[in-house]
């Protein structure tokens, strides 16, 4: 099934949801089209599994990295944001975001799936790290702790920017990540840790 999901991710990223065809996915995976139906009822079910599998795996990887590191809150934030930049910027997952922006109005169920997986799970992970940071005294209590979307927002901006405007005025991903971390850490770090 992994080869089907990998082929489907590539097909959706390249062709969009509406343009993606199950026979093309089967060809990419090196299987027959009926084989796809052994695992998935339709294209929507396949897309849902691609999102859940890919993003859940990324979030699980970030969670495990944070648990294993068990270092400072700064280290945890560097890990999570570094993984977010590695997995969601200049990858096929970035193309999935483009697909959702372009086609989400016609396919609200796709937006719902992505929101349920990416935003809900990602938000919970980030908020857990932020709250733990406050409990440890690494971070000061602030509205950002209860609004973790603000902490990840620069990565979303960079993803959209690189899809649309980067050819006109390129933004270096690593430099941007460094600036992102600097703003976040200096914005919510506890006074004694500053």
Domains along the chain with CATH numbers: 43-193 (1.10.357.10)
pTM metric for this prediction: 0.81
Please compute the mean of the pLDDT values over residues 38-50 and round it to a whole number: 92
Q: What does residue 139 show for φ and ψ, rounded to 5 degrees? A: -120, 150
Out of 34-38, 41-45, 92-96, which region has the weakest mean confidence (pLDDT)? 92-96
Residues contacting 99, CB < 8 A, separation 6+: 12, 13, 16, 17, 110
Digit-coded pLDDT (tens) for 119-138: 888 899 999 999 999 999 99
Q: Residue 129's pLDDT is what?
A: 92
């Amino acid at each position: 099934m992994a080869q089907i999901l990998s082929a489907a991710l590539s097909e959706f990223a390249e062709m969009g949801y509406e343009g993606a065809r199950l026979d093309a996915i089967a060809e990419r995976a090196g299987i027959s089209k009926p084989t796809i139906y052994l695992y998935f009822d339709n294209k929507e079910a396949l897309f849902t599994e691609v999102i859940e599998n890919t993003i859940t795996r990324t979030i699980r990887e970030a969670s495990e990295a944070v648990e294993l590191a068990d270092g400072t809150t700064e280290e945890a934030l560097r890990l999570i944001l570094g993984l977010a930049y590695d997995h969601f910027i200049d990858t096929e997952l970035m193309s999935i975001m483009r697909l959702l922006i372009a086609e989400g109005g016609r396919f609200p169920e796709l937006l719902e799936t992505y929101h349920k997986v990416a935003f809900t799970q990602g938000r919970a992970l980030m908020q857990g790290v932020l709250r733990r940071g406050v409990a440890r005294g690494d971070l000061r209590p602030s509205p950002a702790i209860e609004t973790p979307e603000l902490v990840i927002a620069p990565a979303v901006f960079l993803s959209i920017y690189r899809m649309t405007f980067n050819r006109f005025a390129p933004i270096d991903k690593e430099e941007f990540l460094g600036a992102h971390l600097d703003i976040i850490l200096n914005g919510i770090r506890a006074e004694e840790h500053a």
